[in-house]
């Protein structure tokens, strides 16, 4: 066989590829910014994008992937700035030898009038008297108290609502909670609520039994009641520290503070003061003379005057720093609360405060944080609703289902809580994180948001303001009037059988101004429509203090003497309901429709 002559290849001269120039851009970038960064005309870029089938104008944003493809054609390589931002937001771990003890941060909680404020006032007063005279205490939301055996920081947040609102934003500020219970009054609803909020946040509780100076004080009863709620005193073999005090006379307060310091020593609260500061915004406000002011509690590192920082979507430079006594200071270390001047806007309580290298970075990061918050709103964090519970269990996202339970009476509360506990399985643990009687409040919704819980209302409703908050926080509120249905729904949701077939739509609310008894007809309520509209033959609920007292149908709707089909907001009307006569001024009619929705497969 003849050999096939081989073709000799000509030697090719290889030209080295030009190194692609790199540009750093954000996750979303406007066409104008990209064109500017690459030094090309905006129109040129739009032409290219149209060639790719992307129709945009100069001011519109394109995502990182599209931008990368286009930049490639122009010989540029894009890098995402977000990565640098993420790295920056993550806190580097400290070596154990760098850590030093820091004062504990304590929040005082308890029922109204049990002496939270009096206790804080007493501690502050004695500290001011012991300290320099003439120091005016600023209200900055936190107080630094110096003691011979160690310092303590008290957060003056208005109750557990603020505490949970901050938790909903991911801030963990408090190290210990002092639960104030009046010895003459014992455990009250808000005491229970505070305990549940503290437990949901995993913060240790120290109990202060207050008003011991009163003759009717009964600390043993308080101990017994709290032991039932899981706070067993050390004297009785439990873990909880109890202090007997009187905020009025000051009896036992010093001993209580010593106990807190001892507890702090055992729990070893430490921080590294030798690095740029990080902290949390406790409260912020706009002052007409001084501009934006914010109270920051330093968590780690040391803050100095002149530092550039970001906090949430705001940024700035520390122009001046005041401590809790209103004195100008130059530096602040871990656990020290300071009031700052020099912020671009008013941050939110619970926002993270971080020192950055320079102003350019601060601005850039604050913008990114803003973009991130916006994106977060679109994909609100994994709040659970009963509808998607089964999918999340299957994906392994959920190991426990938290429930906030509200009922009209104590009996149904205990029965429902007990029945729900029994539904726990090996895959999913059911946990009632808070239960109480009465209407569903904003606090309940915020607790549910912070703890990824669903709210179950049994014979109680949420008023429009609370509904608004629930919608904003993406909290699932379910209403029931039969215990069996509530249990069945949760069980079905866990088994993946929940088919949302009927949806209730509240179409209007009317306040009862007067009620008239008309012979042969019954009671007619003179009402004023406050929202939506009232429709004849619709379903109606009668609410008294947000508790459902009747659920049925409208039988008559009148304006003056005429029967009408519907009455709009702002008008008065007469309403009669089927088979129910006990209507009183001050009641509220909630009118609703049940819409059938096709079950989705």
Q: Please, is 411 exposed, middle or buried when counting C-beta atoms within 10 Å of its C-beta (0-12, 13-18, 19+)?
A: exposed
| pLDDT single digits (tens) 379-406 | 444 455 666 666 666 666 666 788 899 9
- Beta-bridged to residue 416, according to DSSP, are none
| pLDDT single digits (tens) 19-60 | 567 787 776 778 888 888 888 888 888 888 888 888 888 887
Beta strand 142-145 pairing with 105-110: unpaired
Residue 342 structure tokens: 């020099």
For residues 312 and 350, what is the distance between their CA atoms, to the nearest angstrom? 9
CA distances from 144 to 253, 353, 591 (A): 16, 19, 52
Query: DSSP letters of 245-308?
Result: --TTT-TTHHHHHHHHHHHHHHHT-EE--SSB-EEEEEEEEEETTTEEEEEEEEEESBEETT-E
pLDDT(532) > 90: yes
Q: Please, is 360 exposed, middle or buried when counting C-beta atoms within 10 Å of its C-beta (0-12, 13-18, 19+)?
A: exposed
| pLDDT single digits (tens) 251-274 | 888 888 899 898 888 888 888 888
- The three-class DSSP label of residue 346 is coil
How high is the pLDDT of residue 541?
A: 92
- The three-class DSSP label of residue 329 is coil
Q: Please, is 96 exposed, middle or buried when counting C-beta atoms within 10 Å of its C-beta (0-12, 13-18, 19+)?
A: exposed
pTM exceeds 0.85: no
Q: Which residue has the higher pLDDT, 144 or 25?
A: 144
Residues 159 and 109 sit within 8 Å (Cβ to Cβ): yes
Residues 447 and 433 sit within 8 Å (Cβ to Cβ): yes
| pLDDT single digits (tens) 177-225 | 888 888 888 888 778 888 888 888 888 889 988 888 888 888 888 888 8
How large a percentage of the chain has pLDDT more than 70?
82
| pLDDT single digits (tens) 537-592 | 889 999 998 899 999 988 889 988 888 999 999 999 999 998 888 899 999 999 99
| pLDDT single digits (tens) 328-370 | 888 888 888 888 887 888 887 778 888 887 777 777 777 777 7
| Kind and range of the H or E run holding 180 | strand 176-182
How high is the pLDDT of residue 136?
A: 42
Query: DSSP letters of 54-106?
Result: ----TTSEEEHHHHHHHHHHTTEEEEEHHHHHHHHHSPPPPPGGG-EE---EE
How high is the pLDDT of residue 533?
A: 93
How high is the pLDDT of residue 129?
A: 46
Domains in the chain, please, with CATH? 21-79 (1.10.10.2480), 100-270 (3.40.50.300), 278-378 (2.40.30.10), 386-498 (3.40.50.10050), 504-596 (2.40.30.10)
Residues 296 and 310 sit within 8 Å (Cβ to Cβ): no
Residue 298 structure tokens: 């330093």
pLDDT(139) > 60: no
CA distances from 564 to 299, 420, 579 (A): 64, 45, 20
Give the list of residues 6+ apart from residue 88 with CB closer than 8 angstroms, or none: 354, 356, 365
The 3-class secondary structure across 126-140, one letter per residue, is HHHHHCCCCCCCCCC
- Residue written as token pair 């692609």: 20
Question: What's the chain's average pLDDT?
Answer: 80
Burial code (b: 16+ CB inside 10 Å, e: under 16) for 278-310 equals: bbbbbbbeeeeeeebbbbbbbbbbbbebebbbb
| pLDDT single digits (tens) 485-497 | 888 888 877 766 4
- Residue written as token pair 């003890």: 101
| pLDDT single digits (tens) 61-104 | 788 788 888 888 888 888 776 555 666 666 677 787 888 888 89
- The three-class DSSP label of residue 345 is coil
| Kind and range of the H or E run holding 198 | helix 189-200
């Amino acid at each position: 066989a003849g050999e096939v002559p081989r073709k000799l290849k000509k030697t090719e001269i290889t030209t080295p590829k030009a190194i692609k120039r790199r540009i750093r851009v954000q996750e979303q970038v406007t066409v104008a910014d990209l064109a500017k960064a690459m030094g090309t005309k905006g129109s040129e870029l739009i032409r290219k994008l149209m060639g790719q089938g992307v129709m945009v104008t100069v001011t519109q944003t394109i995502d990182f992937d599209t931008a990368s493809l286009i930049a490639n054609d122009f010989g540029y390589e894009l890098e995402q700035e977000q990565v640098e931002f993420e790295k920056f937001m993550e806190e580097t771990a400290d070596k154990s030898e760098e850590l030093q003890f820091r004062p504990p941060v304590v929040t005082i909680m308890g029922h109204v009038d049990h002496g939270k404020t009096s206790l804080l006032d007493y501690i502050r007063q004695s500290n001011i008297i012991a300290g320099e005279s003439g120091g005016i205490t600023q209200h900055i939301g936190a107080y630094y108290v110096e003691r011979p055996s160690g310092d303590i920081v008290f957060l003056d947040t208005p109750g557990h609502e603020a505490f949970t609102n901050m938790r909903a934003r991911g801030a963990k500020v408090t190290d210990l909670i002092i639960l104030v219970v009046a010895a003459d009054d014992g455990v009250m609803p808000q005491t229970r609520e505070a305990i549940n909020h503290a437990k949901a946040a995993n913060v240790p509780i120290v109990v202060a039994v207050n008003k011991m100076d009163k003759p009717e004080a009964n600390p043993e009863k308080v101990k017994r009641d709290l032991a039932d709620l899981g706070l067993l005193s050390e004297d009785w073999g439990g873990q909880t520290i109890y202090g007997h005090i009187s905020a009025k006379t000051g009896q036992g307060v010093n001993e209580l503070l010593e106990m807190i310091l001892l507890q702090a020593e055992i729990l070893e609260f430490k921080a590294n003061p030798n690095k740029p500061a990080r902290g949390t915004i406790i409260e912020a406000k706009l002052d007409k003379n001084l501009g934006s002011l914010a109270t920051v509690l330093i968590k780690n590192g040391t803050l100095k005057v002149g530092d550039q920082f970001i906090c949430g979507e705001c940024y700035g430079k520390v122009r001046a720093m005041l401590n809790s006594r209103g004195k100008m200071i130059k530096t602040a270390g871990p656990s020290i609360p300071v009031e700052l001047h020099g912020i671009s806007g008013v941050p939110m309580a619970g926002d993270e405060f971080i020192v950055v290298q320079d102003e350019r970075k601060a601005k850039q990061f604050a913008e990114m944080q803003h973009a991130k918050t916006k994106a977060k709103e679109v994909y609100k964090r994994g709040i659970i609703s009963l509808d998607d519970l089964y999918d999340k269990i299957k994906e392994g996202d959920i190991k426990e289902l938290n429930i906030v339970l509200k009922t009209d009476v104590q009996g149904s509360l205990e029965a429902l809580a007990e029945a729900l506990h029994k539904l726990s399985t090996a895959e999913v643990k059911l946990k009632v994180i808070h239960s109480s009687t009465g209407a569903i409040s904003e606090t309940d919704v915020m607790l549910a948001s912070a703890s990824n819980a669903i709210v179950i209302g049994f014979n109680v409703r949420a008023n429009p303001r609370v509904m608004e908050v629930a919608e904003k926080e993406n909290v699932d509120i379910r209403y029931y009037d039969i215990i069996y249905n509530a249990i069945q729904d949760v069980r079905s949701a866990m088994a993946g059988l929940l088919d949302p077939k009927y949806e209730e739509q509240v179409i209007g609310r009317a306040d009862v101004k007067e009620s008239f008894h008309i012979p042969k007809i019954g009671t007619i309520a003179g009402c004023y429509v406050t929202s939506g509209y009232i429709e004849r033959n619709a379903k109606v609920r009668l609410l008294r203090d947000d508790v459902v007292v009747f659920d049925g149908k409208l039988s008559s709707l009148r304006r003056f003497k005429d029967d009408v089909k519907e009455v709009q907001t702002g008008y008065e009307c007469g309403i009669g309901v089927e088979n129910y006569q006990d209507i009183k001024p001050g009641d509220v009619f909630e009118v609703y429709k049940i819409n059938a929705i096709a079950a989705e497969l």
